Structure 1
Amino acid sequence: MTAVQTIHDVPVLVCAPEGATLSREQDALDLIGDAGYQGAQWIAVPAARFDEAFFRLDTRVAGDMIQKFAQYGMGLAVLGDISRHTEGSSALRDFVRESNRGRQTWFLADVDALGERLGQHTA
């Protein structure tokens, strides 16, 4: 079930593991609209919900989606183990590392890790 949870005073739309695959910009926009309607400032999406193309940077799917999140001021947390993707792509490893240094898009293990990061940025 997808529901808004307050984590360190930040409303986060936490998406269920099951559900539609996110494979294009419009999927991101639909999710952003839903989250905004519910008052969320961040969206946490299980990595398994993203189409495989998201993790291949040459497809530009990740860049296009993440740009939409940035344009609408919505944080994105990709939750779960993506090691099978990063092991095969130094570009993706670099992208994840750089994203995790910022304040807009994070690749994290789980909701608990998201809570830790949000706690660091709201303290």
Structure 2
Amino acid sequence: MKPSELLQDDSSAVIEALRSGALTGAPIPDLARRLGVSTDFLVSSLRLPKSTIAKRIAGKSKLAPLEQDRICRTERAFSRAREVFENENAQLWMTGRVRTLGGVSPLSFHLTAQIARPFEFDLRLGSAR
């Protein structure tokens, strides 16, 4: 299952998919490509272990809960950014320095529940920079 497919389901389906470990490493390179960054950059930005993720991508094996969480939160933030800014501007917002986020890029944080709130707030404001 791809992170973008999880976003289209209702909350209970997402929770069950994450609990069952439905997300594999296979879609990570595609997410990186859509963000306009390398897979290594995405993995490093999300503070995930490069060698472990490389093995999961190559073997299409299931991601650990923390890995799934960060990939899904990144996909969710990027999906929302595309709604607000449209494709190219969404890439710029996700990877560029955002003033309302203290001059850092959204990808430079662990996207935990508490840290995701400023991103959601920034996107509600429609702030591209």
Verify same fold: TM over 0.5: no
Bigger Rg, structure 1 or 2: 2
Going by fraction, where is helix more abundant, 1 or 2?
2
Q: TM-score, normalised by structure 2?
A: 0.26
Q: TM-score, normalised by structure 1?
A: 0.26
Going by fraction, where is strand more abundant, 1 or 2?
1
